[in-house]
Structure formats: structure tokens, C-alpha cells
Structure 1
Amino acid sequence: MARPSRAHEKRAELVTAARRAVLERGILGLRLRDVAERARMSAGSVLYYFPSMADLLQEVQRQAVDRFCAAREAAAAREPDPRLRLITTIDSGLPTGPDDELCVLLYELGAYARRDPDYAAQHVRLFERQVTLYAGILDEGAAAGMFTLTREAAVIARNLVALEDGLGLHLLAAAPPLDAAAARDLLLAYASDATRCAL
């Protein structure tokens, strides 16, 4: 009887190794050898399971996007009040600090989005999924009479995601110009103005 294939397991190990390598070395200095060492494999074995580093890192990115968005959606779903849901969503979108593994990973991998259409597509998917989350909360709050939106929900939602992205980038800088609490306050101030609701 033939032994079952371990390809799925090996691919998962490589994704984990690549994720660790990106977090430790950064995307710009990353080499195939770094991933191979962390996976305790040869570089040739890595390429057996993933034809290129780009393919491997795309899988790392895909999983990171899904984990990040799923966590935000789950946190929002636990709040029945649209006001609290909006605050919770804001809280779940900012990096908690330089040790926030998932956010660091997304920002590192986002650097490739300027040059690679496959990475760009994942980056767009991340952006649009978050916009959809915010827009749903804004529409629900408006329908319930809690929010008076100053613009269409989609416009406010896009601005919120863009603000999060910019503030998050600053929070993860080697010398951040503001801390997580200040970034949160800025987002809440914009959301309060855009909904005409004190948050």
C-alpha cells in the first residue's frame, strides 16, 4: 500500500517558515536560503513544493489576508450595536505595536504590490474586504438612526481603511511619530465627524 502524500503538510511547513523569515529578515532582504533553513530543507526541496519564492510568498500573503480579515469580521459580529461595532472595527485594524506579527507581515508583503500584479490583487482584496466591513456597519447604523452619514457609506469606509493603513505604517516605523492610542483617537475623530455620532 502506497504511503499517503505529505505534500500538503510540507507546503504548510514552508508557509510557516516563510512567514517567520519575513518577520525576522523583512521582505527586501529575504532569500530562498532563509526559508529553507527555517524549514530544515534544501533550497531545491522548497522549489519542489513552490516553483518560486514569489509563489510561496503569495501563499503567505493570501493566508495573512484571510486571517486578518476573518479576525476583524468576527470581532465586529460580536457587537450588536453599530456604534460599538464601528469602534471595535477601528480597534481591530490598527497594529498594536511593532510586535503585531500579522500587521507587520501584511505591511512587509504589501511592498511587493507596487511591482507584482498577483501581490497587487491580494492587496486590493484586503482593502475591499475591509471597506465592505465598514460600509455594512455604516449603512446599518444609518438605517437604525444612530448615524447621520456626511458622505456615502462606501466613501467613508474607503477613507477609514486608507487612514488605518497610513497610521499603521507610522506605528510600525523604527521611530513612530505617534502611538497606538493617538492613532486610535484620530480614527475615532474622523469616524465621529463622518457619522455625526460621538464615538
Structure 2
Amino acid sequence: MARPSRAHERRADLVAAARRAVLGRGMLDLRLRDVAAEAEMSPGSVLYYFPTLTDLLREVQREAVERFCAAREDAVRDEPDPRRRLTAMIRSGLPSGPDDELCVLLYELGAVARRDASYAAEHIRLYERQVGIYAGILETGAATGAFTLTRDAGTIARNLVALEDGYGLHITMAVPTLDVARAAGLLLACASDATGCDLGDPGSGDQEGDR
């Protein structure tokens, strides 16, 4: 009887090794031999499972995007109140701190998007999926009377995702220019203005309707 193939398992191990290598060295300095060393394999063995380093890193990016978006969807799925859903969505989009591995990984991979169309396509997918979650929350809030939107839901959603990206980058820089609480407060202030609804302070759990 033929032995079962371990290709899927080995590919998963290589994706994990590449993820660690990106976090450890960054995209600009990353080489095939770095991933091979992390996986305890020869460079030739890595290429047996992925034709090029770019192919492997695209899979790392695809997996990271899926994990990040799925976590954001989970964060708001069971909350019926649009105000609380919007607050939870904002909180879920920011790094937990300078060493948030998933956010750092996405920033590292996103830096390549300016030069590589395939990375750009995945980064666009990440952006649009987040915009879709936000827009759904905003539209529901407007329909139920919880929000009075100052712009259409799509415009507000795109602005919030872009602000998250910018603030998240500041949080994860070698010398952070603001912390998570401050970034969340700034985002909530923007969202409050855009929805006509006081979303409160992110650290207090205090929202309009709780008082």
C-alpha cells in the first residue's frame, strides 16, 4: 500500500516557517535561504513544494489576510446592537501593540504591493473585505435609526479602514507615535462624527444607551 502523501503538511510547515522568517527579518532582507533555515530544510527542498519564494510568500499573505478578516467578522457577528458592533469592529482592526504578529506580518507583506501586482491584489482584497464589514454595520445602524450617517456608508467605511491602516502603522513602528488606546479613541471620535452617535470611550465600555 502506498504511503499517504505529506505534501499538504509540508507546505503548511513551510508557510509557518516563512511567516516566522518575515516577522524576524522583514520582507526587504528576506532570502530563500532564510526560510529554508527556519524550516530546517535545504533551499532546493523548499522549491520542491513552492516553485519560487514569491509563490510561498503569496500563500503566507493569503493566509494572513484570511485570518485577519475572519477574526474581524467573528468579533462582530453575534452583537445585535449596531453601536456596539461598530465599536467592536474598530477595536478589532488595530494592532494589540507594537509586537502584534499578525498585523506586523500584514504590514510587511503590504509594503511589497507597490511593486508587485499579485501582492497588491491580495492587499486590495483585504481592504475591500473590511470595507464590506463596516458598510454592513453602518447600513444596519442607519436602517434601525441608531445612526444618522453624514456620508454614504461606503465612504465612511473606506475612511475608517484607511485610518486603521495608518494608525496601526504608527503603533507598530520601531518608535511608536501613539498607543492603542489613543488610536482607538481617535477612530471612535471619527466614527461618532460620521454616524451622529456618541460611541463613547473605548476603554470605559461607556456608550450612548448605556447611561
| TM-score clears 0.5 | yes
Q: Work out the CA distance in 1 between the residues paired with 2:39 and 2:178.
A: 37
Write out per-residue CA displacement over residues 63-102 of structure 1, whole angstroms, 9 at most, x where no aligned residue.
0000000000011112110000000000000011111110
Farther off after superposition, 130-139 or 92-101: 92-101
Q: Give the counterpart letter for 1:88 in structure 2.
A: A
Which of structure 1's runs of 4+ aligned residues deviate more than 6 A? Answer: none
Kept in 1, the 8 Å contact 2:98–2:176? The answer is no
Aligned to 1:149: 149
Percent identity for Structure 1 against Structure 2: 73
Q: Give the drift of 1:107.
A: 0.3
Q: Work out the CA distance in 1 between the residues paired with 2:148 and 2:122.
A: 32
Aligned to 1:184: 184
Q: Give the drift of 1:168.
A: 0.5
Q: Work out the CA distance in 2 between the residues paired with 1:50 and 1:73.
A: 30
Q: Give the counterpart letter for 2:7 in structure 1.
A: A
Gaps of 5+ in 2: 200-211
1:155-166 to structure 2, matched below 5 A, reads 155-166=155-166
Aligned to 1:107: 107
Normalized against structure 1, the TM-score is what? Answer: 0.99
Write out per-residue CA displacement over residues 106-146 of structure 1, whole angstroms, 9 at most, x where no aligned residue.
00000111011110000000000000000000000000000
Q: Give the counterpart letter for 1:23 in structure 2.
A: L
Supply the RMSD in Å over aligned alpha carbons: 0.6
Normalized against structure 2, the TM-score is what? Answer: 0.93
> What is the aligned length?
199
Q: Work out the CA distance in 1 between the residues paired with 2:9 and 2:139.
A: 42
Q: Give the drift of 1:157.
A: 0.1
